[in-house]
Structure 1
Amino acid sequence: MQITVSVNGESYVRDVEPRLLLTHFLRDELRLTGTHWGCDTSNCGACVVRLDGVPVKSCTVLAAMADGAEVTTVEGLAHGRTEADLDPVQEGFMVCHGLQCGFCTPGMMMTSRALLDRDPDPSAETIREAISGQICRCTGYENIVRSVQWAAAKEAAAREAADTESSEAMA
């Protein structure tokens, strides 16, 4: 069957098998290998992407279900290729050592970005609840939680600076 899907802002038209999983479509067809394929049973969360803004485990979504949708992968978080272009979540994971082996990291980042988009100042408990559907076998989650808190603080500071600049411009 033919599908049309927007991935990280770029439109793709492809013929796919009706049973093809979104994770395999992203990795094998589009060569976006940041989405990791871990368990194929929706237990690990390494394959989380955003489908029309909602985090989903792409190992449980058929590529055909993404027809006409917007998919964002971890590659779509950054706004360019330099460190300065990183999404605050990516930067937080780097600064606060929110990863060790890195296998779960793309899914953790996608879930964290979705959390911060709906709750810009989450508590540690809220962060833990948001990532509870994902498994990290290396970190113990402490640095992951700190990474998300760091990103939230960076975004809050940026909003405050923008508000101050706007207020000064109006005066």
Structure 2
Amino acid sequence: MQRIVLGRVKPTLSLPQALDKIRAGTRAVVVGDGHGSRVVTAGDIFEAMNEALDAGKDPKSVEIGEVKPTLPRVAVEAPPVTTTDRFGPPGSRPSLTFPEEDRFRSLLMAKDGGKEPRYLVEEIGPEGAVIVTSSEAFAGHLAKSLTICKCAGEPVHRFEPDQVRVPGVCNRPHGRPVTCSQAGIV
């Protein structure tokens, strides 16, 4: 099993605020605070921001809860949480025990045939959540530092590098030049 710690946000946060909650060394956030929590990538946020801009809306007026994530969430019941937690005192945070991890891994693999990255959100607190997945590639994708590509001109569209269809050119109709840099670097 692979585990990745992501920032967690409430569904009412604006798109730019949610983008700011992406933890260093990752490229997604967990939206929600319970059973319906889901992973929303920076690419999902950028797409929603670009759509808002093109519709003449301020991305600050769009809530992250309105974003439809592109990543599939596991559709199996989470394994039961035991009262003893190998990561701290009982009740400090839910955790899967080793036999439950084996059960979960087999459920994930049976559900998706190992082809699609499925995940489970393991809650750890109001500011973060652990994503549990059987896919090393998916875990590696989430655990990469965020790179933001911006186009020159108004409106300024944003993309992740793998979203840019033609290298160095904005996907939107104005086709302006695009430059990419790591998040946090001006």
More helix by share: 1
> Do they superpose with TM above 0.5?
no
Normalised by the shorter chain, which TM-score bucket?
under 0.3
TM-score (norm 1): 0.26
TM-score, normalised by the number of residues in structure 2: 0.24
More strand by share: 2
Higher radius of gyration, 1 or 2: 2
